[in-house]
Every structure is written in structure tokens, then in C-alpha cells.
Amino acid sequence: MISILILNGPSLNLLGTRQPEVYGTTTLADVEAMCLQKAEKLGVSVECHQSNHEGALIDWIHAARGVFDGIIINAGAYTHTSIAIMDAITSVEIPTLELHLSDIHAREEFRHVSYIGKVAFDAIMGHGADGYPMAIERMVKELQK
């Protein structure tokens, strides 16, 4: 069975209340439930984690080697700053998909840079919470190649 690790970075624990005009009103618990439902429908397994700490995200990425077939990551603001997360993704050699609720290229200029995008096979952005099930579908297609 295909197994996918879904990682959410800083401030994503505040989904539903943080800038709803940008990120919507869906909570992280709602997003995780959507992911589990999509995974069940597709016959794959998912495991979700969120942390505001860069090192915790890196630890999960490292621990994924030999356990998960793919990683979906919404690294939040670390997308634009973390060479360490980029290096961790490169190090584990697991197909990784970048995910964002908003379209980072339509936002402030500093958000246009994505270190995750340099090592991810694809990106889904600008679809709000609906991007998560879309990302799972895209990951499954990639892993079935």
C-alpha cells in the first residue's frame, strides 16, 4: 500500500482563524480529516504532522526514509527561508510535492522564492484546503508511474 507523509509547517495549526481571507475557514483538523477520507477512497495511507519548529519538520522528513513512499509538505513560511528543509528532502530521496493554500506567486515578492520548489517534483497552490486531496491524488499518480 502506498504511504504518504503530510507535513504542515508554522502557523498552519491556526487554520480556520488565521487570516481567513487568505487561508479560508477550514481548520487543520478539517484538512486532516479530508486527507484521511481521500486516502481511504484511493486505498493509500497517510500520516499527518504539524509543527511550528523547523527541526521537527526535518526530523519527520529524515524518519520518513524507508517508511513512506512520498511526502507532501506545506512548509508555510519555511518555504521561503529553509535551505535545511530543502537539504533534508534531497537527502532522503523520497518524491516530494510542495503544497500551499494560497498562490505564493500572487502574494508578496518575498514569497515568490521557494526552496522546497527547487527539490519537489511538483507544486499545488492556490486551491485552499481543497489542495490537500488534490495533492494526494497527484502524489499517487507520481508513485504509480
Residue 13: the pLDDT is: 95
Active site residues: 23, 100
Residue 102: the pLDDT is: 87
Low-confidence ranges of the chain (pLDDT < 70): none
- Structural domain boundaries, residue 56: 3-143
The CA distances from residue 24 to 28, 33, 49, 54, 138, in Å, are 11, 16, 20, 24, 22
Residue 35: the pLDDT is: 98
Residue 136, number of CB atoms within 10 A of its CB: 28
Residue 104: the pLDDT is: 84
Number of structural domains in the chain: 1
Under 8 Å CB-to-CB from 92, ≥6 apart: which residues? 61, 62, 64, 65, 71
Residue 107: the pLDDT is: 76
Q: Which of 142, 108, 106, 140 is nearest to 126 (CA)?
A: 106
CATH number, domain at 112? 3.40.50.9100
Residue 137: the pLDDT is: 98
